[in-house]
Amino acid sequence: MIGSNNQDFRSIPAIWPDIEGRRVLDVGCGQGLYTRELARRGAVAVGVDFNVGALREAKRAGGHFHAVRADARYLPFRADAFEMVVSIEVLSHIDPQIRQGVLADIGRVLEAGGVAFVTLHNRWRLTFGQWLRLRRARRVYHTANLDVWPSVPEEGQLMVRDNGLDPASTLRYLNYHSRFTYNFFVTYPKLSKLVIVAEDLLSRIPILRRLAITFLLIANKPVNATDIAPSAEA
């Protein structure tokens, strides 16, 4: 399954709380990798994406979840509709000015005490890559697929805080091999196992871990008594 070998998918579901019977939203679900995992764990899972083709692929792959076509800035759900929100490698592809609106709507549909898991592309990694090529770092990186507006963790934490969420102080850095695709995994299975070991090791080394391609933010919607929270490892 595309993406299932990546470090984010190997790591993020492992720190989800017990979500059986919980209402969970996957913003920018694409072909449904995380949405299916949410449903497999017993969540009432809803995947949202603007790309009709991606949603069709998601449903074609199976899984008991709801697929909804919508703009992430205007989620078609009532306030406090979900107990958890997931958005993996989505917000980095949205201009930061528009991104604020997406985060605001995520905060709106997340109930008090709910938790959000959001990843962003890491500017440190992209800047380092540009320096190695003797090139200047950029504000936005244009690619053949989607543009990338990278961030540093402090910016990401400030963005979620500005939209009513309380970011955890602990960060997780994820994904180190930019070409570690599903095809790479299938073509080079032994090398892929070495990449997996190396990625898991790098993510634990204080300085080197900051060279990850993405980082994970975990944020709660404040409430007096939180009844859903990430595991102790988060």
Q: Report the predicted TM-score, pTM, of the whole model to 2 decimal places.
A: 0.91
> Which residues form the domain of 23?
7-215
- The 10s digit of each residue's pLDDT in 132-163 is 999 999 999 998 889 999 999 999 999 999 99
CA distance 58 to 65: 10
Residue 135 included in any domain: yes
CATH of the domain at 138: 3.40.50.150
**Is residue 131 situated within a structural domain?**
yes
Strands 82-87 and 23-27: parallel
Question: Quick one: which of 96, 101, 77 has its CA closest to 140?
Answer: 96
pLDDT of residue 194: 95
Farthest-apart Cα atoms in the chain, separation: 51
Count Cβ atoms below 10 Å from residue 66 Cβ, excluding itself: 13
Residue 221 lies inside a defined structural domain of this protein: no
Q: How far apart are CA 225 and CA 203, in angstroms?
A: 32
Domain assignment present for 225: no
- 225 pLDDT more than 60: no
Helix (H) or strand (E) holding 87: strand 82-87
Gyration radius of the chain over CA positions: 17
Structural domains counted in the chain: 1
In the prediction, which pLDDT does 2 show? Answer: 75
Domain annotation covers residue 234:
no
